[in-house]
A and B are shown apart, each in its own frame.
Chain A
Amino acid sequence: MSEAGYWQRRTTRRQTLRGAALGGLGMAAFLAGCSGSNNNKSKPSGNSGSASSSANGTPGPATQAALPTLTVRPTAVVDESKINKNNVYHDRQSQPWPTINPYKDLVTGLTLGFTIFDHMWYTTKDTNERVLFLATSIEQPDPLNFTVKIGQAVFHDKPPTSGRAVKASDIKASYEAAAQSKTISNSDWWTKTLDSITTPDDSTVTFKLKQPDAWTFTSTNAGSPLSSSIIPQEIATQPDFMDKDLIGSGRFQWVSHENGANPKMKRFDKWRVAGEPWTGGYEQKLIQEQAAADAAFVAQQIDHFAAQNKAEKDQLVQQLGKQVDVDTTVTGAIWTVQTRADGAFADPRVRQAIYLGLNRDEYIQLMEFGDAAKSGPIPPAFKTYALDSDELTKTFWQFDPAQGKQLLQAAGFDLSHEYEIKYYILTDKPAQFAQIVQGQLQKNLGMKVKLTAEDFGTWLAKSLYQGQYDGFIVYPSLDYDDPSSYIGAYSKVIGGRPNWSGFKDDELDQAVAAQKAIIDDTQRTAAIKDIQRKAYQKFAPFIPLYVAYQSDLFWNYVKGRLVGRGSYGLFNGRLYIDK
Chain B
Amino acid sequence: MRRYIIRRLLALPMIAAAVSVITFAVLRSPWAGDPAVLLAGQGASTDQIAGIRHTLGLDRPIVVQFGDWIGHLLRGDFGRTFRGQQPVWPEITRRLPITFEIMALAVLFGTFFGVLYGIISAIRQNTWLDYGLRVFAVFGQSIPSFFLLVLLIVLPSLWWHYSPPVGGHKALFAHPWENLRLYVPPTLILAVTHAATLMRLTRSTLLDVLRQDYVRTANAKGLRERSVVMRHALRNALIPIVTITGGLIAELFFGALILEQVFSINGLGQFFFQSVLSRDYPVVQFLVVYTAGVVIVLNLLVDLSYVVLDPRVRYT
Contact = CB atoms under 8 A, between A and B. Distances in A.
A491 to B, nearest CB: 12
Interface stretch (B47-55, B66-74, B110-118): B47-55
B163 A298 contact: yes
A105 B85 CA distance: 10
Nearest to B261: A288
B143 interface: yes
B264 interface: yes
Given A287-B264, A295-B156, A299-B162, A461 B37 contact: yes
A98 B264 contact: no
Interface stretch (B146-154, B204-212, B221-229): B146-154
A260 interface: yes
A21 B37 contact: no
A145 interface: no
A182 B41 contact: no
Q: How large is the interface on B (under 10, 10 to 19, 20 to 34, 35 or more residues)?
A: 35 or more
B264 A295 contact: no
A295 B86 CA distance: 33
A338 B55 CA distance: 33
A496 interface: yes
A458 B47 CA distance: 19
A120 to B, nearest CB: 24
A99 B83 contact: yes
Given A286-B264, A298-B157, A258 B168 contact: yes
Given A186-B43, A259-B266, A458 B168 contact: no
A301 B166 contact: yes
B200 interface: no
Interface residues of A, number: 61
A497 B270 CA distance: 34
A262 B37 CA distance: 27
B39 interface: yes
B155 interface: yes
A142 interface: no
A289 B152 CA distance: 13
B91 interface: yes
B55 A301 contact: no
Interface of A: 14, 17-18, 20-21, 24, 28, 30, 34, 37-38, 90, 95-99, 101, 104-106, 182-183, 186, 188, 191, 240, 243, 258-262, 283, 285-289, 291-292, 294-296, 298-299, 301-302, 319, 455-458, 460-461, 465, 478, 485, 495-497
B154 A301 contact: no
A105 B82 CA distance: 10
Contacts of B38: 456-457, 460-461
B81 interface: yes
Interface string B276-316: 01111000000000000000000000000000000000000
Contacts of B169: 258
Given A28-B135, A182-B52, A258-B266, A283 B167 contact: yes
A307 B232 CA distance: 59
Given A186-B45, A289-B153, A295-B153, A259 B94 contact: yes
B76 interface: no
A496 B279 CA distance: 23
Contact of B45 (A21, A38, A496): A496
A302 B159 CA distance: 18
A191 B162 CA distance: 51
A207 to B, nearest CB: 22
Interface of B: 31-35, 37-48, 51-52, 55, 81, 83-86, 91, 94-95, 135-136, 139, 143, 147, 150-151, 153-159, 161-169, 261-264, 266, 270-271, 274, 277-280
10 contacts: A21-B154, A37-B158, A37-B159, A90-B167, A104-B83, A183-B52, A243-B86, A457-B32, A461-B33, A461-B38
B86 A186 contact: no
**3 closest pairs, A vs B, by CB?**
A457-B33, A99-B84, A98-B84
A295 to B, nearest CB: 4
A289 B150 contact: yes
B269 to A, nearest CB: 12
A261 B260 CA distance: 13
B161 A299 contact: yes
A24 B271 CA distance: 33
Contacts of B164: 295
Contact of A291 (B33, B45, B153): B153
A303 to B, nearest CB: 12
A258 B168 CA distance: 7
A377 to B, nearest CB: 16
Given A182-B48, A292-B166, A295-B154, A458 B41 contact: no
Contact of A289 (B32, B84, B261, B274): B261
A17 B40 contact: no
B260 to A, nearest CB: 8
B163 A21 contact: no
B210 to A, nearest CB: 28
Contacts of B277: 455-457
A177 to B, nearest CB: 15
B274 A96 contact: yes
A457 B34 contact: yes
Contact of B167 (A30, A105, A262, A495): A262
Contacts of B94: 259
Given A99-B84, A496-B45, A182 B261 contact: no
A292 B139 contact: no
B262 A292 contact: yes
